[in-house]
Structure 1
Amino acid sequence: MSNKIKLIWDFRGPDAAKIAEHHEFHLKEFIQIEKITLNITGFTVLNEVYAIAYMVVEKSEMIPVRDALKPHRGEIYTE
């Protein structure tokens, strides 16, 4: 089983939820264009002024994706 990494972008402010949702749209586009192995994305509204968008990649793909998209942070992905 290969390790998966969840790359995370944080958004804060009154428009955080809308921005995170829109960012996920662009992550999906990136996956198609770059032919990324996994197709796991999402966004989560944590409260009225904080939301995240995320993308899950194989560990072997993490560095090029990280360098291209500059996520704010990452963590080991567990399903």
Structure 2
Amino acid sequence: MSRKIKLIWDFRGPAALKTAEHHVKHLKEFIAIEGTALNITGHQQINDMFSIAFMVVEEHEMISVRDTLKPHRGEVYEP
């Protein structure tokens, strides 16, 4: 079974939450166009000045998606 990798984009500042929410729309568009194996995206507010957007991919897709979308970081996804 392939591991799942959570690719993460960090957003900081007073508009961080809105920016993360908007970024998720673009991630969903990418999934629809590229046909990635998974359709897991989302955003999370860490605090008033820091939010993240994320996308989960299969490990074998990670390098190509990473090189195309340039996330800030990644971690093993554990739902």
| TM category, shorter | over 0.9
| RMSD between superposed Cα atoms in Å | 0.4
Shift of 1:2: 1.4
Q: Distance in 1 between matches of 2:2 and 2:34?
A: 20
Indicate the SS of the match to 1:30. helix
Shift of 1:50: 0.3
Indicate the SS of the match to 2:71. coil
Alignment match, 1:54: 54
TM-score for the superposition, normalised by structure 1: 0.98
Alignment match, 2:5: 5
Alignment match, 1:77: 77
Q: Distance in 1 between matches of 2:2 and 2:69?
A: 22
Indicate the SS of the match to 2:21. helix
Q: Distance in 2 between matches of 1:32 and 1:65?
A: 13
Alignment match, 2:32: 32
Shift of 1:63: 0.3
| Number of residue pairs aligned between Structure 1 and Structure 2 | 79
AA aligned to 1:65 is V
Q: Distance in 2 between matches of 1:23 and 1:14?
A: 16
Runs of 4+ in 1 over 6 A off after TM superposition: none
AA aligned to 2:26 is H
Q: Distance in 1 between matches of 2:17 and 2:38?
A: 24
Shift of 1:7: 0.1
